[in-house]
């Protein structure tokens, strides 16, 4: 189980715990619409010989329209699709051409990813189908720091189903004013990093790690005390765990997760998004870090990554390694399609961890996992106090 320690003087630390055709009748442009439109909107152009569009990079949430003119007939259905692992394509937008055979489709820019996209028109009577592909890179609005290799998983096969929204609830009892707004910021950061869909389902009276989570939501985040949740004993500010299920060890779907926050430590961290000039770490950093654990990431040694075992002034935002790791746990991996259906939450039980904190126990076709602190002295165990 991941846990975050808060040290003296407000210091916090962690215990390890495309879209084009060669046909002469097709002209497709990618229109990027910023908040303030320039005199002439930039667009992707057809390459003179290959008929391919050059890769384009846009910042996350930038409105991007794929526009063009398809071959006859008019009123033809066109589909924008995104490539997913396994050689498959999934639809992200649909439209019909107008009387002049023009169309406009919205590209996915809601999360950080390198999208391979195509516009496809299914075959219709007397007219063959067509499609071509290109790439769209969606990047953060800031420059992520660190190494792209600075990420680590406890189980490389366990992840949420990106085609099933994660319903989450929040228990505000014991928290501070404004905590929910900061938690929303943290959830949005994880959503942008993974492409996973989070759906807020309201408040709950459930206390994380008390055996009731999973009945009312997939993810419960709430405040607790060391008396209610012993793992928070000492100066632990937060803890996170998740459970996964699947037909095999290499096919594990995370289906329930919990984040417990220590209400007795609420004054030891700043109620802000990023550290101020003093460098005091923030609750948003803690929220984002713990949510990182719930999507499958473990601690790393790089101090410039959010998933380092300490929150500090050097890792106020998700770093490059964090983002790469989260992308491997998100929508870019495609959907789960377990023939046996969703696991039974009522039969779930937690078992003691082992072997670097993880143990899998099968209950029918259900595998439960629990995380324990990484042993002191291991490569990813960092107990340094937060920089002020």
For 179, the token pair is 């905590």
**Mean pLDDT of the chain, nearest integer:** 74
CB neighbours of residue 287 within 10 Å? 24
Task: Give the angle subtended at the CA of 119 by the CAs of 114 and 121, to the nearest 5°.
Answer: 155
Q: What is the pLDDT of residue 1?
A: 54
Smallest CA-to-CA distance from 2 within 157, 209, 162, 250 is with 209
pTM, two decimals, is 0.76
Helix (H) or strand (E) holding 121: strand 113-121
pLDDT in tens, 12-60: 444 333 322 222 222 233 434 333 333 333 333 322 233 344 558 889 9
pLDDT in tens, 283-334: 999 999 999 999 999 989 999 999 988 888 888 999 999 999 999 999 988 8
d(C-alpha 26, C-alpha 19), whole Å = 11
d(C-alpha 310, C-alpha 298), whole Å = 12
Of these ranges, 14-28, 184-198, 248-262, the one predicted with the greatest mean pLDDT is 184-198
Q: What is the pLDDT of residue 95?
A: 94
d(C-alpha 214, C-alpha 105), whole Å = 37
Greater pLDDT, 308 or 374: 308
Helix (H) or strand (E) holding 190: helix 179-194
Q: Is the pLDDT of residue 216 over 90?
A: no
Helix (H) or strand (E) holding 286: helix 283-294
Q: What is the pLDDT of residue 235?
A: 67
Q: What is the pLDDT of residue 310?
A: 81
Smallest CA-to-CA distance from 293 within 308, 276, 273 is with 308
**145 pLDDT tier (thresholds 50, 70, 90):** very high
Residue-range domains of the chain with CATH: 2-17+142-368 (3.40.390.10), 27-52+61-139 (2.60.40)
Q: What is the pLDDT of residue 169?
A: 96
Instruction: Answer yes or no: are the C-beta atoms of 196 and 166 closer than 8 Å.
Output: yes
């Amino acid at each position: 189980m991941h846990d975050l320690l808060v040290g003296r003087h407000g210091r916090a630390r962690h215990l390890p715990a495309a879209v084009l055709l060669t046909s002469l009748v097709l002209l497709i442009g990618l229109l990027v619409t910023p908040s303030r439109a320039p005199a002439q909107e930039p667009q992707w152009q057809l390459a003179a010989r290959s008929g391919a569009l050059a890769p384009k990079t846009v910042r996350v949430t930038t409105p991007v329209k794929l526009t063009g003119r398809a071959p006859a007939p008019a009123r033809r259905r066109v589909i924008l699709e995104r490539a997913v692992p396994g050689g498959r394509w999934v639809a992200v937008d649909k439209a019909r051409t107008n009387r002049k055979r023009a169309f406009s489709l919205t590209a996915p820019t809601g999360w950080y990813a390198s999208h391979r996209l195509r516009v496809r028109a299914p075959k219709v009577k007397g007219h063959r189908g067509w499609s071509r592909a290109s790439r769209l890179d969606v990047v953060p609005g800031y420059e992520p720091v660190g190494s792209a290799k600075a990420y680590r998983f406890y189980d490389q096969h366990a992840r949420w189903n990106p085609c099933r929204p994660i319903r989450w609830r929040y228990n505000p009892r014991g928290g501070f004013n404004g905590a929910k707004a900061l938690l929303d910021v943290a959830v949005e950061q994880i959503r942008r990093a993974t492409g996973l869909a989070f759906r807020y389902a309201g408040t709950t009276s459930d206390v994380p790690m008390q055996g009731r989570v999973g009945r009312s939501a997939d993810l419960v985040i709430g405040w607790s005390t060391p008396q209610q949740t012993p793992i928070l004993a000492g100066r632990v500010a937060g803890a996170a765990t998740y459970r996964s299920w699947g037909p095999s060890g290499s096919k594990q779907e995370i289906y329930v997760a919990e984040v417990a926050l220590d209400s007795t430590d609420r004054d030891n961290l700043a109620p802000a998004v990023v550290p101020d000039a003093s460098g005091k770490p923030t609750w948003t950093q803690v929220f984002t870090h713990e949510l990182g654990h719930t999507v499958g990431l473990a601690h790393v040694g790089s101090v410039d990554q959010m998933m380092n075992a300490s929150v500090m002034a050097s890792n106020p935002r998700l770093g490059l390694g964090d983002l790469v790791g989260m992308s491997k746990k998100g929508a870019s991996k495609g959907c789960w399609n377990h023939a046996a259906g969703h696991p039974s939450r009522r039969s779930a039980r937690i078992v003691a961890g082992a072997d670097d904190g993880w143990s899998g126990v099968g209950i029918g076709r259900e595998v439960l996992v629990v995380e324990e602190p990484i042993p002191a002295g291991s490569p990813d165990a960092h107990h340094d106090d937060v920089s002020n």
